[in-house]
């Protein structure tokens, strides 16, 4: 719940981590069903912080993509029904625009233009928000996103779900130099498939006696060193691409957003690399998926383009950043 597009009145998140942990990843049907069950109570809890409740709401923003089709349909159906019932405008928003605006939401001094590294479970992009409503993608991954790579690494290492936090925890006591990992270098692109393969081979080469029945390393110290080596390679590649583009375009403001932006090693590395420039990394609560960032992006979109016509269409593959 936002006031004037930038003041967070309330932010309520219903996590599905425990629901999907047993499966090692998100199960689309379970995710959609859980959305359907909790969307009403979550909205009501959010509204409880707003004097006047629904009567004080001036507009509704909803994610229409990218994402899982079932979850998007639940959200858009609820949002449009609520907007019609209350007689207020509704606007469909890109999930990726939400991430980019999470930086704008968390830092009142930040205004476009700024360069954003967008790193999540499904995306690894460098995007320039040139102005409100005007964004251009300058680089993206050719295969796995960084978050997806962390999830796969966690499975190989026998760690928990979600993979990013699990790998980060294990890496804290590890030696990032023990297991050499590749640093892919591409012009204007990222790639993590080779890194994932390198981790798989490093585990294989430990020998069958060093592995559990599930194929992950037995020794916690080895797990820590592999996690640290993998994490260091991911961070270095992200930093290289972001730095190359920032230097080329003369960027004056940097933001790092998305779920992987919660990784402390990445946060520290970006601040070190761009020392002297304003760097915005949202608090952890705004890095992971949340409605506040969608509200911020929706406020801008409504201001610039007006409300959507009835029948907001979902687009699971939506490629839009503003």
Asked if residue 261 and residue 117 are part of one domain, the reply reads yes
Spatial neighbors of 77 by CB under 8 A, at least 6 apart, are none
Asked if residue 144 and residue 47 are part of one domain, the reply reads no
Asked if residue 116 and residue 42 are part of one domain, the reply reads no
pLDDT (tens digit per residue) in 288-303: 999 999 999 999 999 9
Asked if residue 75 and residue 218 are part of one domain, the reply reads no
320 within a domain of the structure (yes/no): no
Say what the pTM is. Answer: 0.93
Asked if residue 152 and residue 259 are part of one domain, the reply reads yes
Asked if residue 114 and residue 26 are part of one domain, the reply reads no
175 within a domain of the structure (yes/no): yes
pLDDT (tens digit per residue) in 255-289: 999 999 999 999 999 999 999 999 999 999 999 99
Asked if residue 129 and residue 266 are part of one domain, the reply reads yes
Range of the domain at 213: 110-281
CA dist., res. 115 & res. 20, Å (int): 33
310 within a domain of the structure (yes/no): no
pLDDT category at 101 given cuts 50, 70, 90 is very high
* Residues paired with residue 279 on neighbouring β-strands, in sequence order: 254
Asked if residue 8 and residue 127 are part of one domain, the reply reads no
CA dist., res. 69 & res. 66, Å (int): 8
The answer to whether 267 touches 293, Cβ cutoff 8 Å, is: no
pLDDT category at 53 given cuts 50, 70, 90 is very high
Asked if residue 141 and residue 261 are part of one domain, the reply reads yes
Total domains present in the chain = 2
Domain CATH number, residue 195: 3.30.420.40
128 within a domain of the structure (yes/no): yes
pLDDT (tens digit per residue) in 167-215: 999 999 999 999 999 999 998 899 999 999 999 999 999 999 999 999 9
Asked if residue 22 and residue 67 are part of one domain, the reply reads yes
């Amino acid at each position: 719940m936002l006031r004037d597009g930038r003041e967070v009145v309330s932010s309520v998140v219903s996590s599905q981590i425990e629901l999907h942990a047993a499966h090692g990843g998100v199960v689309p049907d379970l995710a959609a069903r859980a959305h359907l069950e909790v969307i009403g109570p979550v909205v009501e809890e959010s509204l409880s912080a707003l004097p006047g409740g629904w009567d004080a709401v001036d507009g509704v923003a909803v994610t229409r993509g990218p994402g899982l089709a079932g979850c998007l349909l639940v959200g858009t159906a609820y949002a449009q029904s609520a907007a019609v019932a209350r007689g207020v405008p509704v606007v469909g928003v890109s999930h990726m625009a939400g991430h980019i605006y999470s930086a704008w939401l968390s830092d009142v001094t930040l205004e476009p233009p700024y360069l954003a590294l967008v790193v999540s479970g499904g995306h690894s992009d460098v995007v320039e928000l040139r102005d409100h409503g005007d964004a251009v993608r300058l680089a993206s991954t050719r295969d796995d996103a960084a978050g997806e790579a962390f999830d796969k690494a966690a499975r190989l290492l026998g760690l928990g779900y979600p993979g990013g936090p699990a790998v980060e925890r294990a890496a804290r006591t590890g030696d990032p130099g023990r297991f050499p990992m590749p640093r892919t270098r591409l012009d204007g692109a990222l790639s993590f498939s080779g890194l994932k393969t390198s981790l798989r081979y490093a585990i294989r080469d430990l020998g069958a006696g060093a592995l559990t029945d599930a194929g992950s390393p037995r020794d916690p110290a080895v797990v820590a060193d592999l996690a640290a080596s993998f994490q260091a390679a991911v961070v270095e590649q992200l930093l290289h691409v972001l730095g190359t583009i920032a230097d080329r375009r003369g960027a004056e403001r940097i933001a790092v957003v998305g779920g992987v932006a919660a990784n402390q090693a990445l946060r520290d590395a970006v601040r070190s690399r761009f020392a002297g420039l304003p760097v915005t990394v949202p608090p952890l609560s705004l890095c992971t998926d949340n409605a506040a960032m969608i509200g911020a992006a929706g406020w801008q979109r409504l201001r610039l383009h007006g409300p959507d016509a009835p029948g907001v269409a979902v687009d699971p593959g939506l490629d839009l950043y503003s």
